[in-house]
């Protein structure tokens, strides 16, 4: 079982709709969770971090965490073509190691 | 805030040469820096963790004599790929921790694309 799992996609969403990205993790002791966005040929850019169960909203982005189910998700409202990218879920394991999922490729169709 | 730079952004070298990549935290002090590599259409793979003033901790399977890491100050870490070969061609990305977010948030540099001929 991979430590952090994501559906690799591609996920296609029409412009203006809600994009939903999902991630599961194996280490039940994990406490810190991150979503990064990576455009082709570029390095990852931090979108959100989440540490507590429930929802955390920042603009059009909402991160959701359910530690009992070992599940973290990212919702993007009012999707824009500029949101087209690969979204990486990452989880802190151990003292400081950031473990990434394989990423979900998202395409927003105008 | 929390800006991380890398230099060079792109390098092409001949097989057998050594290449040094610099990673700098521009507006914060980074107690810990990380080095990753990424192959096309793959996720990031952690190579090593670098703490200022101490030896780097390498991940399993990463040759420490081939990938030399130095973290001489709180704002600078370097990765040297020694005797580079074509299979070392990859996208190398550093990250730094300590930039105003939570204590465990990592901020990434723009990456260095290495091509070994």
Mean pLDDT of chain A: 93
What tens digit of pLDDT does each residue of A11-65 get?
A: 999 999 999 999 999 999 898 999 999 999 999 999 999 999 999 999 999 999 9
User: Which of A49-63, A76-90, A92-106, B65-79 is predicted with the least confidence, judged by mean pLDDT?
Assistant: A92-106
Mean pLDDT of chain B: 91
pLDDT over 70 at B101, yes or no: no
Which residues 12-41 on chain A approach chain B with CB closer than 8 angstroms? 32, 34, 36
pLDDT over 80 at A95, yes or no: no
Cβ of B63: how many Cβ atoms within 10 Å? 10
Q: What is the pLDDT of residue A88?
A: 96
Q: What is the pLDDT of residue B72?
A: 82
CB contact under 8 A, A88 and B43: yes
Which residues 49-78 on chain B approach chain A with CB closer than 8 angstroms? 49
| A98/B contact by beta carbon, under 8 A | yes
**Integer Cα distance of A47 and A42 in angstroms:** 15
The arrangement of strands across the sheet holding A19-25 comes to A4-6, A19-25, A71-76, A61-66, A54-58
| B34/A contact by beta carbon, under 8 A | yes
pLDDT over 80 at B110, yes or no: yes
- Could you tell me which residues come within 8 angstroms of residue A13 by beta carbon, excluding any fewer than 6 positions away? A19, A79, A106, A107, A108, A109
B41–chain A nearest CA distance, Å: 9
Residue range B89-109: mean pLDDT, rounded: 85
| Tokens 């169709």 found at | A109
Give all strands (DSSP E) within chain A, no chain letters: 4-6, 11-14, 19-25, 33-38, 45-50, 54-58, 61-66, 71-76, 85-93, 97-100, 104-109
Q: What is the pLDDT of residue B55?
A: 87
What tens digit of pLDDT does each residue of B1-15 get?
A: 689 999 999 999 999
CB contact under 8 A, A49 and B46: no
pLDDT over 90 at B98, yes or no: no
What share of chain A in percent tops pLDDT 90?
A: 84
- Could you tell me which residues come within 8 angstroms of residue A57 by beta carbon, excluding any fewer than 6 positions away? none
CB pairs under 8 A between A and B: 45
**Integer Cα distance of B9 and B114 in angstroms:** 9
pLDDT over 80 at B67, yes or no: yes
Residues A63 and A56: beta-carbon distance below 8 Å: yes
CB contact under 8 A, B34 and A45: no
Say how far residue A12 (Cα) sits from the centre of its chain.
15
pLDDT over 70 at B102, yes or no: no
């Amino acid at each position: 079982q991979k430590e952090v799992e994501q559906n690799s996609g591609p996920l296609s969403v029409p412009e203006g709709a809600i994009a939903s990205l999902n991630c599961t993790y194996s280490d039940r002791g994990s406490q810190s969770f991150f979503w990064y966005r990576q455009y082709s040929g570029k390095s990852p850019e931090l979108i959100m971090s989440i540490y507590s169960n429930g929802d955390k909203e920042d603009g059009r982005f909402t991160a959701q965490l359910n530690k009992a189910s070992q599940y973290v998700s990212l919702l993007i409202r009012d999707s824009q073509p500029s949101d087209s990218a690969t979204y990486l879920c990452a989880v802190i394991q151990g003292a400081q190691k950031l473990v990434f999922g394989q990423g979900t490729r998202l395409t927003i169709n105008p | 805030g929390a800006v991380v730079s890398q230099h060079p952004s792109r390098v092409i070298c001949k097989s057998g040469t050594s290449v040094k990549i610099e990673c700098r935290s521009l507006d914060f002090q980074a107690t810990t820096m990380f080095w990753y590599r990424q192959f096309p259409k793959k996720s990031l793979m952690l190579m090593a963790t670098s703490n200022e003033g101490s030896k780097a901790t390498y991940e399993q399977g990463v040759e420490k004599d081939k990938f030399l890491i130095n973290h001489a100050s709180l704002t600078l870490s370097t990765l040297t790929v020694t005797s580079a070969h074509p299979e070392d061609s990859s996208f190398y990305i550093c990250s730094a921790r300590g930039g105003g977010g939570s204590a465990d948030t990592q901020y990434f540099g723009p990456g260095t694309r290495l091509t070994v001929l």
